[in-house]
Amino acid sequence: MPGGWTGLVLTALVVFLISDLLLSFFGPGGATTISYTEFNNQLNKGNITKIYSKGDAIEGTLKNAEPKPDGGKGTYTEFDTQRPVFAGDNLWTTLQQQGVEVTASPVVQQRSFLANLLISLAPMLLLILVWVLLARRMAGGLGGGALGRKAPPKPVTAEAGRRTTFADVAGIDEVEAELSEVVDFLKNPQQYRRLGAKMPRGVLLSGPPGTGKTLLARAVAGEADVPFFSASASEFIEMIVGVGASRVRELFAEARKVAPAIVFIDEIDTIGRQRGSGGGMGGHDEREQTLNQILTEMDGFSGSEGVIVIAATNRADVLDPALLRPGRFDRRITVSPPDRDGRAAILRIHSRHVPLAGDADLGQLAKVTPGMTGAELANLVNEAALLAVKRRQDAVNERDLSDALEKVQLGAVRPLVMPQAERERTAYHESGHALLGMLQPGADPVRKITIVPRGRALGVTLSTPETDRYSYTEPYLRGRIIGALGGMAAEQVVYGVITTGAESDLEQVTNIARGMAGRWGMSERVGRLTAVPSDPQGAYGLSAAPTTLDAVDEEARRIVAECYDEAVRLLTEQRARLDALAAALLEAETLDEEAAYRAAGVPRKTLDQA
Ligand code: ADP
Ligand code: MG
Ligand code: ZN
């Protein structure tokens, strides 16, 4: 029986149609309605053979066909009419005189037995139908939402077109290598079974968003050519209570049926957070139940069935230890943003179907995009292609790529007319950031400065590292803070007042300073311990004494205060350079690396000096 409301409505419609059909079958046929006057005329002409009456309604048959009244086409013999209540004619006498056969039935007519049965049963039938449907839904373990359809997890098998394979993944070769073992197992599980080797039941992929975790899971399924069952952990929570666990059960049951198969649970941190820790508003039990169900299912594996669970998370550090126990997600793979060669490879993959002009250099683009993830690079290529379309070119060239990069890194240009005073202030603010960035030894070089409003910002200063950075030194971090405070300091130095424009600068500064004091052991007073957890939501879960947290706060304040003084000192000392840079910026609105260093009169540091 088709479930859902459509099914119900359809059934109701069919019942209605059938009863209507039956009723009309037993009901009156297709007679022509005529006026009572016309009826009288025909009667007086002696043209009526028989009539049948029910109350004042009369149906009857003519001897000879008559043209239809009211200019209707054709003729009629069957007719019906209505006798007015006030008609004082001696109808019965006339009928007798004309020798018309008269039949009559009681005013309250008995319907046929069948019609009566149908009519009286129809509402009951409908009720029973609704009840059965509801009961089924309940029995099915609340398989769908309250009103939603019951949706068994569908394997994403050989979707229309080609499936994802490792050829679609680049820049994370070490991860691919680890996963190819899983692929091998899924391809020939007998081999492993024969030697008594057990495969990990669960593989946990962790890494920043956009690094290709979902993509990898799909690629594993594609490479091994096995069904892929995927669910996002947040789906489990959004559904009504009790559904999450049963959905998990279904997911695994389906996967077992077609094993070898992959069950993929995306964003598992939504349900897999440490029990009894932060973020426990509402849906807490639901989360726990779902998580327990996953654990139960994984424990239920005999290990040789060939169902492998892959889970992905951005936050492996907040996961419940129960998930990471041996026999569960015991294989953990970290997926990191790609390095330079990786970025070039990813750019090539995503530009496979994008015609590139001769001057478009993906290797160069990879060089200037340190820290970008696969998703960001894919987006970058797409933005460039969109620009090329807009510019009516038939290939993507260097300019499209660099404009797209600018848009991706700095945000889209906002058409905003700024008063001259605001522009000046913004120019000084950005020049402050940029100049301090240029002057800090070892800081990332300034790539671009602009006072064209973009995104939420009134201006942007972009510095990116020369090469990929994997760890940071204390002087570098201080340099970052000084640079970030540069905007505010410049306003202070030039105008003597500060504005609200520095909010996001301060957020950045706070994060770095707190990290230095509380996480990375860069403060003597706090000591070499982590007092501030990397997960802000669980801030009270970590056992740091209040005095330690106070110390972290004070130390962070001290660091920021020192850096601010240094920023103001440097800008006051370098006021001439600041003025020159701001003037150039006001003039040109956007300065690239070379122009910026030239305007400020700062020699561009080469790589080995940095
Ligand atoms: P995550 O799940 O880690 O947040 P996704 O797998 O959803 O990231 O990645 C989003 C998109 O970014 C992918 O569909 C793909 O187009 C692109 N992408 C990310 N990483 C890579 C990579 N290593 N190689 C190729 N494309 C990638
Ligand atoms: Mg994902
Ligand atoms: Zn700023």
Per-residue pLDDT tens over the stretch 97-145: 888 888 887 666 567 788 888 888 888 889 999 988 887 766 544 444 4
pLDDT of 204: 92
* Three-point CA angle 577, 578, 584, nearest 5°: 90
User: With contact defined as beta carbons under 8 Å apart, do 560 and 426 qualify?
Assistant: no
Q: What percent of the chain has pLDDT over 70?
A: 85
Cα 423 off chain centre by = 38
Predicted confidence band of residue 244 (pLDDT cuts 50, 70, 90): confident
Q: What is the CATH number of the domain that holds 257?
A: 3.40.50.300
Tokens of 3: 């479930």
What's the CA-to-centroid distance between 24 and ligand 3, angstroms? 80
Q: Is 172 in the pocket of ligand 1 (CB under 6 A)?
A: yes
User: Does one domain contain both 529 and 453?
Assistant: yes
- CA nearest 230: which of 327, 312, 153? 153
Within-domain flag for 39: no
* C-alpha dihedral, 181 to 183 to 185 to 191, nearest 10°: -90
| Residue 457: band (very low, low, confident or very high) from pLDDT cuts 50, 70, 90 | confident
Q: How far does residue 173's CA lie from ligand 2's centre (Å)?
A: 18
β 261-266/75-82 pair status? unpaired
Give the closest residue (by CA) to ligand 1 atom 12: 375
Q: What pLDDT is recorded for position 254?
A: 85
Which of 363, 392, 410 terminates a domain? The answer is 410
443: DSSP letter: P
Coil, strand, or helix at residue 456? coil
Atom of ligand 1 nearest to the CA of 208: 3
Pocket test for ligand 1, best of 159, 213, 215, 216 (most atoms within 8 A of CB): 215
- Asked whether residue 311 is assigned to any structural domain, the reply reads yes
Could you tell me if 438 and 352 lie in one domain?
no
Lowest average pLDDT, out of 151-160, 177-186, 570-579, goes to: 151-160
What is the span of the domain harbouring residue 256?
166-334
Q: Give the closest residue (by CA) to ligand 1 atom 17.
A: 375
Q: Is residue 197 domain-resident?
A: yes
Cβ < 5 A residues, ion ligand 3: 487, 505
Q: Give the end of a domain, one of 357, 378, 410.
A: 410
| Ligand 1 neighbourhood includes 173 CB (under 6 angstroms) | no
Looking at residue 44, what is its pLDDT?
86
CB 219 within 8 A of CB 323: no
In this structure, the answer to whether residues 365 and 318 fall within a common structural domain is no
Written as one string, the DSSP assignment of 56-70 is TEEEEEEEEEEEPST
* 374 vs 95, residue with greater confidence: 374
Contacts of 307 (CB under 8 A, 6+ apart): 201, 252, 255, 256, 259, 260, 261, 262, 263, 301
Selection from 174-178, 181-185, 352-356, 501-505 with the highest mean pLDDT: 352-356
Measured in Å, residue 446 CA sits from the centre of ligand 3 at 14
Same domain, 445 and 590: yes
Structural domain ending residue among the three candidates 334, 368, 393: 334
- Asked if residue 157 lies in contact with residue 57, where contact means CB atoms within 8 angstroms, the answer is no
Contact of 240 with 347, CB cutoff 8 Å: no
User: Looking up tokens 């007798």, which residue turns up?
Assistant: 96
Residue 480 has pLDDT above 90, yes or no: yes
Q: Is 383 in the same domain as 498? A: no
In short, whether 378's Cβ falls inside 6 Å of ligand 1 is yes
What distance in angstroms lies between residue 211's CA and the mean position of ligand 1's atoms?
5
Domain identity same for 375 and 435: no
| CA pair distance 495, 421, nearest whole angstrom | 11
* Of residues 220, 390, 376, 383, the one with CA closest to residue 312: 220
Is the beta carbon of 210 within 6 A of some atom in ligand 1?
yes
Kindly give the interhelix angle for 474-495 and 503-518, rounded to the nearest 10 degrees.
Answer: 150
Q: Which of 332, 392, 401, 329 shows the shortest CA–CA distance to 369?
A: 401
Nearest alpha-carbon partner for 581 in 598, 564, 605, 604: 598
Judged by DSSP in three states, 433 sits in helix
The answer on 430 and 357 residing in a single domain is no
Question: Which ligand is located closest to the Cα atom of residue 488?
Answer: 3
Report the pLDDT averaged over residues 537-556. Answer: 76
Say which residues have a Cβ less than 8 Å from residue 335's Cβ, sequence separation at least 6: 172, 175, 205, 206, 207, 211, 212, 213, 216
Is it the case that residue 462 has pLDDT exceeding 90? no
Please report which ligand is nearest the Cα atom of 169: 1
- How much is the pLDDT for 213? 93
Q: What is the pLDDT of residue 492?
A: 93
DSSP label of 356:
B
The rounded Å distance from CA 373 to ligand 2 centre is 12
DSSP string computed for 204-219: EEE-STTSSHHHHHHH
CA distance 325 to 101: 96
Burial readout 93-111 (b: 16 or more C-beta within 10 A, e: otherwise): eebeeeebeeeeeeeeeee
Q: In sequence order, what are the residues at sequence separation of 6 or more whose Cβ sits closer than 8 angstroms to the Cβ of residue 420?
A: none
Q: CA 178, CA 220: separation in Å to the nearest integer?
A: 11
Burial 37-47 (b: 16+ CB within 10 A, else e): ebbbebbeeeb
3-state secondary structure of 104: strand
Strand partners, 461: 449
Choice between 409 and 509, residue whose per-residue pLDDT is larger: 509
501 CA to centre of ligand 3 in angstroms: 7
> What pLDDT, on a 0 to 100 scale, did the predictor assign at position 438?
92
What is the pLDDT confidence band of residue 70, given thresholds at 50, 70 and 90?
Answer: confident
Does 433 share its domain with 309?
Answer: no
When mean pLDDT is compared across 84-93, 222-231, 548-557, 583-592, the lowest value belongs to 84-93
pLDDT at residue 149 in the model: 43
Looking at the CA of 457, name the nearest ligand.
Answer: 3
Distance of CA 322 to the CA centre of its chain: 28
Whether the predicted pLDDT of 316 surpasses 50: yes
- Find out whether the beta carbon of 349 lies less than 6 Å from any atom of ligand 1: yes
Nearest atom in ligand 1 to the alpha carbon of residue 215 is 6
Q: Which residue has the tokens 């957070």?
A: 273
In a domain, 278, yes or no: yes
Ion ligand 2: residues, CB within 5 A, are 214
Note the pLDDT of residue 534: 67
Count of the separate structural domains present in the chain = 3
Query: Who contacts 552 (Cβ-Cβ below 8 Å, separation ≥6)?
Result: 514, 517, 518, 523, 526, 531, 532, 544
DSSP-assigned states of every residue in 239-288? SPTTHHHHHHHHHHHHHHHT-SEEEEEESTHHHHBPTTSS---SSHHHHH
Half-sphere exposure of 327 (CA within 13 A, CB side): 10
| Residue 310 in contact with ligand 1 by CB distance below 6 A | no
In a domain, 226, yes or no: yes
Which residues partner with 45 through β-bridges?
A: none
Q: Is 72 exposed, middle or buried (0-12, 13-18, 19+ CB in 10 A)?
A: exposed
Q: Specify whether 210 is located in the same domain as 344.
A: no
Ligand showing the shortest atom-to-Cα distance for residue 217: 1
Active site residues: 430
Residue 517 in this model has a pLDDT that exceeds 60: yes
Confidence band of 4 (pLDDT split at 50, 70, 90): low
Range ranked top by mean pLDDT from 81-85, 337-341, 605-609: 337-341
Residue 380 Cβ contacting ligand 1 at under 6 Å: no
User: Same domain, yes or no, for 463 and 519?
Assistant: yes
Q: What is the pTM of this model?
A: 0.68
**554 band by pLDDT with thresholds 50, 70 and 90:** very high
Give the Cα separation of 365 and 138 in Å (integer). Answer: 56
Task: Please work out whether the CB of residue 536 comes within 6 Å of at least one atom of ligand 1.
Answer: no
- Whether ligand 1 lies within 6 angstroms of the CB of 8 is answered as no
- Residue 146 confidence class, pLDDT cut points 50, 70, 90: very low
Residues 6+ apart with CB under 8 A from 529: 521, 544, 548
For the Cβ of 205 lying below 6 angstroms from any atom of ligand 1, the answer is: no
Q: Are residues 203 and 171 in the same domain?
A: yes
328 shares its domain with 358: no
